[in-house]
Structure 1
Amino acid sequence: MTRVLHVLDHSLPLHSGYTFRTRAIMRAQAAAGLEVRGVTGLRHAADGPVAEVADGLLFHRTRGAATGPAGLREWREIGRLAEAIAALALDWRPDVIHAHSPALCGLAAVRAGKALSIPVVYEIRAFWEDAAVGNGAGRAGSVRYRLTRALEDRVVSEADAVFTICHGLRDDLIGRGHHAGKIGLSPNGVDLALFGDPPARDAALAAELGYAETDPVIGFIGSFYDYEGLDLLIDAMPALRAVQPGARLLLVGGGPMDAALRQRAAASPCSDAIRFTGRVPHEEVERYYSLVDVLAYPRKASRLTELVTPLKPLEAMAQGRLVAASDVGGHRELVDDGETGVLFEPDDPDACAAALADLLAARHAWPAIRQRARERVRQRHDWAHNIRRYQDVYHLLLTRRSNGKLSAAA
């Protein structure tokens, strides 16, 4: 039985798109007969034991702290994680080390893998220098940006095989000179076993929010970052309500843009139609989903949104929800305009309003759109099938190792 050690920035029991993707991968691999464990680096900011079971999955923690000035601190962080990986590998004896971005995890895995002659797969979920820019924590072209990019290139070069979550990231790496044959694709996916029929409308919650049964509800459920474009969605509401007077906007979540978005909504002529719930417990989220007619994802055009596919639209499609999204590269890989959802021009509130109005007016088409969207997820994004992409590469690397030709994978 193949053993796979996943190297992670953070994991369950923390909740994020990152941890949910990890959970889906590890669960699907376990169901397919692989033995899996995870090990997290120093950035897993949650109290807990050194070995912790969450949702039936075992995660090991790297203890200690990395100190010093920027650069040296990260280098020490990589060293601590590499030591933790090696110690665990000597005890558990994994066949493959599967590291997930950021590159700090990747380089730690490469160090441990080379020392122990264990093949290393490195998976890129986003370029973290671009994510830092999108989150407002970094600046494009800065020294830190260039160093992070260089570190990513080094890990891609030294890993035995590489996966990206979408074509945008893969194409960018190839454009940097990395060999296409080394880089596989493992698209964002969902565990369809978790999604049955959409829940019935929560009448009690609707009454609490003041929603009539006939009010069309546009929703966003997630983190409030600037690149998500929620300011544009707020600005689209007056034009939308001009043709759909009962339309409501429900914003569930929080994040760096929370205060600014609330101020923007308060200044809107449609302020009475815009509701913020704040963050809600994970087990309560489905109640809010039940009220939403259309999930809106108005991401702004940027390097991050052009290259990276988000998880939320896939989850919405799997739940039988309608999706309206801006026409950026990450969304185009997920949504077929007019077939499985609608796309609209990014950074344009009027285009957003028009797309939402047209979709709300086409209620007769909703069942077919929902069915096509869920079928697309089933065919292309179900983890029960997508994990085979990993297994094929694992088998190839293990065959090369047994033949003494592991270096040929690099």
Structure 2
Amino acid sequence: MDATDIRLALFTGNYNYVRDGANQALNRLVGFLLAQGASVRVYSPRVEKPAFPSVGKVVGVPAIPLPGRAEYRAPIGIPRRVRKDIREFAPNIFHVASPEILGHRAVTLARKMDRPVVASVHTRFETYPRYYGMAFLEPLMEAALRRFYRRCDAIFAPSESMAQLLREQRMNYDVGIWSRGVERDVFDPARRDLDWRRALGIGDDEVTVGFVGRLVMEKGLDVFSETIDRLRQRGVKHRVLVVGEGPAGDWFARRLPDDAVFAGFQRGEDLGRAVASMDILFNPSVTETFGNVTLEAMAAGLPVVAAIATGSSSLVDDGVTGRLVRPGAINRFAEAIQFYCEDHAARQAAGAAGRAASARYGWDEVNGALLDAYLRIVRHRQAGGRASNRLPLR
């Protein structure tokens, strides 16, 4: 059995209508699988003006705007026409990428069709309520996620730190790694552009503390802004450079100093230039399961100051490629950033170490590992095996 025997049905709540690290990884995966001769069908909400072209055949599923976050769509199930398409496609493995209604229905359908189903974990949904004043919901969300992931034959985390957390949460017996890759030709120190910085009003000798990502509260915008406040109180010379856009953009702009620079949404080589033109990346988020922006900054030769959290703790070598700080520890974040702001040699050394470490993450290698896992799981099912995930719920 090889890649040409794989017939994959992929279900995701967002394949390409809003750009994020998760759906870009999914599109890369589909492109890789098709290039290896596998057959793939994607089931996801579709919109008239997606954020980027999709890879592979996409079948639209019904969805409604997500309350409070209308830019996202909430799939509301698998209608008869889609079920008919799935049966005609005849997948031998299902992959669900988001634990919402579509994902639940896909797992149920996989069981009815006696097909193995795997899930990839892209974000820590159980942590989201804390950013909207509803932290009391976290245990309930964790329990709901456990019931969802325990119905799958296997689940895949993008980092060992996230995989270990999933094991501790008893989400599934079979927890594998589907890491992420980085385009080292795009994210390269050589793309640093002083003219671009000058056009934004940033001086050649000004140390920039960068933020990259969607401007939403769960990315730790409150911790970022409070840390910048602390740097100003300490008299640390720096500029803030924000790359990204999102619904919390206005709030973030009000909380940051007046001289903070908002470069807006960047992509491709423009994003590579923007990241390389920073001096330090500050990533206080605890919701990522991997942290694409962290790896991209490392590839671009930046020291990274990040929260000790899933993803970052697997990427950042504390004291070598950057600093890892307890989540929410504003003074410690400020101390770490101040160190790199004031020590050019330390910035250079950490950036060079990060660039070297990023060489371990190639897209073909990480997607090839997931393909091998698909083959293992399909062979196991065809041989009469079943998932070994009957752990007691707690």
- TM-score normalised by length of structure 2: 0.81
- In 1, Cα distance between equivalents of 2:198 and 2:379: 61
AA at the equivalent of 2:148: V
Matches within 5 A, 1:21-100: 21-41=25-45, 46-47=47-48, 54=53, 56-63=55-62, 77-80=76-79, 83=80, 86-100=83-97
- The reply on whether 1:250 has 2:241 as its aligned counterpart is yes
| CA distance in 1 between partners of 2:172 and 2:113 (Å) | 25
Q: CA separation of 1:128/1:298 partners in 2, compared to 1, >3 Å: closer, same or farther?
A: closer
Choose between structure 1 and 2: higher helix proportion: 1
Cα distance in 1, alignment partners of residues 198 and 240 from structure 2: 15
**2:69 matched to which residue of 1?**
none
Q: Aligned residue for 2:201? A: 210
Cα RMSD of the aligned pairs, angstroms, is: 3.4
Q: 1:11 is matched by which residue type in structure 2?
A: Y
- What is the alpha-carbon distance in structure 2 between the residues aligned to residue 366 and residue 192 of structure 1? 22
Contact 2:30 2:55 (8 Å CA) reproduced: no
Instruction: Specify every segment of 5 or more residues in structure 1 that has no aligned partner in the other structure, as ranges.
Output: 68-73
Q: In structure 1, what residue type is equivalent to 2:110?
A: G
Q: Distance in 2 between matches of 1:190 and 1:84?
A: 36
Once residues 262 and 215 of structure 1 are traced to their aligned partners in structure 2, the CA distance between those partners, rounded to angstroms, is: 20
Contact 2:10 2:42 in 1 (8 A): yes
What's the secondary structure of 2:241's corresponding residue? strand
Identity value in percent: 22
What are the within-5 Å matches in structure 2 for residues 231-246 of structure 1?
A: 231-239=225-233, 242-243=235-236, 245=237
Partner of 2:181: 190
- Residue in 1 aligned with 2:215? 224
Output the TM-score relative to the length of structure 1: 0.79
Letter in 2 for 1:221: V
Q: Which residue of 2 aligns with 1:123?
A: 120
Residue in 1 that maps onto 2:284: 298
Match of 1:159, SS state, is coil
Change in CA separation of 1:348 and 1:64 when aligned onto 2, cut-off 3 Å: closer
Query: Equivalent residues in 2 for 1:365-380 (5 A)?
Result: 365-379=346-360
* 1:98-113 correspondence runs (5 A): 98-113=95-110
Give the C-alpha shift of residue 285 in structure 1.
3.2
The C-alpha deviation readout for 1:9-46, integer Å capped at 9, x for no partner, is: 111253112212212322333344433332114xx5x2
Cα deviation digits, residues 244-303 of structure 1 (max 9, x gap): x3x21112223344333333335xxxx44x2234x335354344324211111133xxxx
Contact 2:305 2:323 in 1 (8 A): yes
Alignment pair present for 1:397 and 2:391: no
Are the equivalent residues in 1 in contact too, given 2:244–2:266 (CA < 8 A)?
no
Alignment of 1:332-351 (within 5 A): 332-351=313-332
1:347 to 1:177, Cα distance in 2 relative to 1, 3 A = closer
C-alpha contact 2:117 2:154 (8 A) present in aligned 1: yes
Q: 1:169 to 1:364 in 2, by over 3 A?
A: closer
